[in-house]
Structure 1
Amino acid sequence: MTSGIQVNDNVKTYFEKMKVNKTNDNSDKRIRLVTCTIQNDEINVDKVFTQDMLGKDGVPEDAYLVLVSLLHDNACFYLMYDCHLETKEGIKKEELVFGTWIPEDIAVKQKMTYASSKQNVKNACKGVKHDVSVNDRATIMPREAFADCLERLTPAIVSLEGVLLSGGGAKK
C-alpha cells in the first residue's frame, strides 16, 4: 500500500544530479548524500551534502560517517547516498544507495507514513542499485554491516569510502 503523499520535484532533481556525473563536472560540488523528509504532506529534500562539505564545519570526512551521524531516534528520513567502494578484485565503484531510516521507537503513525510513502520516492528515483531499510543502527554500523547490506548486488566489498573493512571485506 502506498500513501497519497507526493514527491516534490526537488527530490527528482537532486537524484538526477547524483545519478549523472560527468567527467568535466567539478568533483568538489558532487552530491554525496541527500536526505528527504515529509513536510506539509509532501516529500522534500531536507539536507544535501556535497564533496566539498565533507570534513568541514563539524561534518565528518567521509559520506558514510555523515550518514551514520544523521541517525537519530526521533526522526525518520529517506536517503540517497553516493557510496564509494572497492571490490576484492580491486575495482573501484560508485553506486547509488536508496534507503529509509525509520527507528523502531518512533511513533506508529510516523512509522506507517514513512513506510507507506517509500514506494513513491523509489518510483521518482529510477535507477538505484541498492535499497536499504534501516530501523536500528546495528544494520549499518560498523561499516562491515553496511557492506553486508550492499553485497547482495556487489559481492566481495573490501573498502567503503576508502576505509578498509576488517577481515578484508564483508562476508564471503
Structure 2
Amino acid sequence: MFLLQFESPSEKLGIDLIKLLACLNDWGWGQQANAASGMAVNDDCKLKFLELKAKRSYRFLIFKIENQQVMVEKVGSPEESYDDFTASLPPDECRYAVYDFDFTTNENCQKSKIFFIAWSPNTSKVRSKMVYASSKDRFKRELDGIQVELQATDPSEMSLDIVKDRAH
C-alpha cells in the first residue's frame, strides 16, 4: 500500500472523479452515455425550428430530453420577450433552447441571429448534465441555421447584455 500526496483539495477531487467515472463505466453507465450521443430527435423539433427560422412563427423554442428522445417542451410566440424566455427555463433542470434575437447594428440595420442555448444549471442532477452534454452536438447538427451558441449554468451567463454582445 502507498500513500498519495495531493497539492490541493481540488487535485484530490479530480482523482476521486476519475475513480467515479471508472466505476460508472464498469457498471455499464459508459455505454448509456455513448448511446445518449445518438439520442433520437423528434421530428417536431426540426419542424418547429424551421418555422422559427423561415417564417419567424416563434420567438423561442425549449427542448427537453424525455424517454431517450429530444422533444419540444415549449414554444414562445413572436411577441414574447427575452425575459419571458428566461422565465420559461426550469431553475433546476437542463434544457436546450433556441432564441431568435432581433437587434439593430451600429450602422442602424435591423438584424436577427438564432441562438442555441445549452442550459445546465449547477443545481441540476449530474446524470442529467451528462446526458445533455453528450447529446448536444448531435442535436445541434439537426438544427441547420444556428448562428451563435451559448452555454449557461446560471442566469447571469445568458443575460441580455451577453446575448447582445455575442450578436454583434
| TM-score category, normalised to shorter length | 0.7 to 0.9
Q: Is the 8 A contact 1:7 1:43 kept in 2?
A: yes
Within 5 Å, give how 1:26-105 maps onto structure 2.
30-51=57-78, 54=80, 62=81, 64-105=82-123
CA shift digits 1:88-119 (9 cap, x unpaired): 11111111111111101211100000011111
> What amino acid maps onto 2:53 in structure 1?
K
> What amino acid maps onto 2:60 in structure 1?
L
Unmatched 5+ stretches in structure 2: 1-33
Higher-strand-fraction structure: 1
Unmatched 5+ stretches in structure 1: 22-26, 55-61, 155-172
Among 49, 52, 55, which residue is 1:18 paired with? Answer: 52
CA RMSD of aligned residues (A): 1.7
4+ residue runs over 2 A deviation = 70-73
**Highest RCO, 1 vs 2 (Cα 8 Å, sep ≥ 6):** 1
CA shift digits 1:69-105 (9 cap, x unpaired): 1233311111111111111111111111111111012
TM-score by length of 1: 0.72
**In the comparison of the two structures, how many residue pairs are matched?**
134
Higher-helix-fraction structure: 2
Give % identity: 28
TM-score by length of 2: 0.73
Q: Do structure 1's residue 128 and structure 2's residue 146 form an aligned pair?
A: yes
